[in-house]
Amino acid sequence: MRLADWLLAPGERGNPATRLESRRPGGVAWSAGNQVRPLVHGAVYFGELLKAVRAQQPGDLLLFTDWRGDPDEQLDGPGSEIGQVLCAAAERGVIVKGLIWRSHLDRFQFSERENRHLGEEIRAAGGECLLDMRVRPGGSHHQKAVILRHPGRPELDVAFVGGIDLCHSRRDDTAHQGDPLSQPFAAAYGPRPPWHDVQLAIHGPAVGDVEATFRERWEDPAPLSRSPLGRLRELLHHEDTTADPLPAQLDDPEPCGTHTVQLLRTYPSRVPGYDFAPHGERSIARGYRKVLRRARSLIYLEDQYLWSAQVVRCFAEALVAHPELRLIAVIPAQPDEDGRMTQAMNLVGRISALNLLRRAGGDRVAVYAPENHAGTPVYVHAKVCVIDDVWASVGSDNVNRRSWTHDSELSCAVVDEALDPREPRDPGGLGDGARAYARDLRLELACEHLDRADPSGLCDPVKAFRAFAESASALDAWHDGGRQGPRPPGRLRTYRTPRLSPTMTALVTPFYRLLADPDGRPLALRRTDSY
């Protein structure tokens, strides 16, 4: 297998200014020899994060970037509040540095107050946490990463990257009873919204790549905010607005596994541009568009939104080009906000995207929404894609125009050197062979959704596609029959695309394009629909 068939080759990232293109000899565009472990659900991730942070010693380095941070969110019960854990690390001499999106005002139910509070706690303990608003208007810093480095103990170095924020609602597990500390949410999900999410734990040389991504943002000389109101708030709250120097970056950890990792990112085009991305970066979009041309058997997708016909067109083109290709998508049953106009604005892009996919693939496209065993919908916040059991991506990015062009995002594409010996050994039929990491990730997620302990029979894409359909059909029939008799195994319901009237569609489409799913590309790329 040629890695360049599945990953972006040197120069294909489209952003020569980033240090990711120059930090390895020969300009190698990815990192080999890593061990990557998917941590499915916030409770699993938070438990590992807590153990790793508490093991850090004076002089160690803790870097994090997040969309939202709630200081009282518990990593593992009382006494493990994230603010307390990070402050305790700083107090014992760990170098703690954080970047959190400043956000919008709390009356819009975003997270400015929570993020400022977490930053103040860390600063008082001797760390440093900056509120970063270096985004386009209406945009956000959406990256979710924690990097832990240990001078003299590189075997402990780890980077956590994925979709899980250090905030309320995220600490759930496979039972999906929800986080006791929850944020305001749509009523359909109940007072403790069940939450499905994935984070990666990365050991090996790729830790250096994640750290380099943090350092690019930390060392950006642009002011944290260009808004006059934002600058006034900084003065009134005596906020730290200048990033102190970081210690020199350590050498990358030694190879320790069989996983090749490529960081894919989004940064918008803005004026003036980022030093490390003068014209933005859209390597997530470029990575998807490249790898989908190689898809032949099964695209497995978990996504919070799955919006925008413009973005999913590359999925549709793959389905049209290859009549044996199937797509399974697991998405939330309902948007995360109530309100007639708000819900319609959230749905109009999804309706157009799903209609395009179904026109392209017909009954080879299957879309499901999960629920827990009590029948409460589970909110899918995961951002996962597995293609032909070869390539797998987990990150902060959703399949929508906002994530591919407008906000800052960070994702990890992984290709395993290790072949998976189970049949079919080459589901794509291109000679690449199924790879252990991608297949294991897909099977772990499938077993949860289907209530199976044994993944036997799910390796084959056709059989897996059929198993999903049969499980959802049985659960749908049980609900439609008044929930009589034992509940069938499985947690997936068939997603039925809602309908919007032509009037409502026309009314909310401009708001969808401007607010929900904006385009952050330069005008020239918009005109040619390029990335």
Rounded CA-CA distance 212/410 in Å is 12
pLDDT at 107: 42
Question: Over the Cα atoms of the chain, what is R_g?
Answer: 22
Q: Are residues 451 and 310 in the same domain?
A: yes
Residue 92 within any structural domain of the chain: yes
Do the bridges between strand 195-196 and strand 158-162 make them parallel or antiparallel, or are there none, so unpaired? unpaired
Cβ count within 10 A of residue 398: 26
Same domain, 397 and 443: yes
130 CB-contact burial (10 Å; exposed 0-12 / middle 13-18 / buried 19+): buried
> Would residue 98 count as lying in a domain?
yes
Instruction: Write out the two tokens for 501.
Output: 């009237």
The DSSP element (H or E) to which 42 belongs, if any, is: helix 42-54
Range of the domain at 96: 31-256
Number of other residues whose CB lies within 10 A of the CB of residue 252:
20
Same domain, 57 and 137: yes
CB distance 43 to 194 below 8 Å: no
Spatial neighbors of 148 by CB under 8 A, at least 6 apart, are 52, 53, 56, 60, 61, 62, 156, 157, 158, 159
Per-residue pLDDT at 119: 82
- Tell me if 20 is assigned to some domain: no
Please indicate, yes or no, whether residues 247 and 291 belong to a single structural domain of this protein: no
Count up the domains in the chain and report the number.
2
Q: Of 239, 256, 273, at which residue does a domain stop?
A: 256
Q: Say yes or no: 236 and 351 in one domain.
A: no
- On whether residue 400 sits in a domain, the answer given is yes
Q: Are 322 and 328 contacting, i.e. CB atoms less than 8 angstroms apart?
A: no
How many Å apart are CA 36 and CA 123, to the nearest integer?
Answer: 32
- CA separation for the pair 194, 422 (Å, rounded): 33
Q: Tell me, what's the pLDDT at 237?
A: 67
Quote the pLDDT of residue 225: 80
Are both 287 and 341 inside the same structural domain? Answer: yes
The enclosing H or E element of 29 equals none
502 and 362 inside one domain: yes
Residue 14 forms part of a structural domain:
no
Nearest to 133 by CA among 234, 20, 281, 62: 234
Q: What is the Cα–Cα distance from 355 to 309, expressed in whole angstroms?
A: 8
Give Cα 286 distance to the centre of its chain.
16
Instruction: Decide which of 210, 239, 256 is a domain's last residue.
Output: 256
Nearest to 494 by CA among 365, 319, 400: 365
- Tell whether 167 and 309 lie within a shared domain: no
Torsions phi, psi of 136, nearest 5?
A: -70, 160
CA-nearest of 160, 156, 159, 154 to 252 is: 154
Mean pLDDT by 10 residues, the chain (531 residues): 95 96 90 98 98 98 95 95 96 96 52 68 92 92 98 97 96 97 94 98 98 97 78 68 93 98 97 94 98 98 96 98 98 93 93 97 98 98 98 98 98 98 97 98 98 96 98 98 97 96 96 95 95 97
Q: HSE-up of 171 (CA within 13 Å, CB side)?
A: 24
- Amino acid 464: pLDDT: 98
* Distance, CA of 210 to chain centre: 14
Q: Is 22 a member of any domain?
A: no
In a domain, 528, yes or no: no
Q: Is residue 297 part of a domain?
A: yes
Q: CA 121, 126, 130 angle in degrees (round to 5)? A: 60
Integer Cα distance of 517 and 353 in angstroms: 13
Question: Cα–chain-centroid distance for residue 194?
Answer: 17
- Buried b / exposed e over 65-87, threshold 16 CB at 10 Å, is bbbbbbbebbbeeeebbbbbbbb
User: Final residue of a domain: which of 222, 256, 290?
Assistant: 256
Q: Is the same domain home to 180 and 304?
A: no
Spatial distance between the Cα atoms of 171 and 196, rounded to a whole number of angstroms:
10
CATH number for the domain spanning 46: value is 3.30.870.10
- Picking from 412, 408, 413, 66, the residue whose alpha carbon sits closest to that of residue 266 is 408
298-302 and 61-66 beta bridge pairing: unpaired
- HEC states along 418-482? CECCCCCCCCCCCCCCCEHHHHHHHHHHHHHHHCCCCCCCCCCHHHHHHHHHHHHHHHHHHHHCC
Is the domain of 169 the same as that of 88?
Answer: yes
For residue 104, what pLDDT is reported? 43
The pTM of the full predicted model, rounded to 2 decimals, is 0.95
Residues 190 and 301 in one domain: no
Is the domain of 236 the same as that of 291?
no
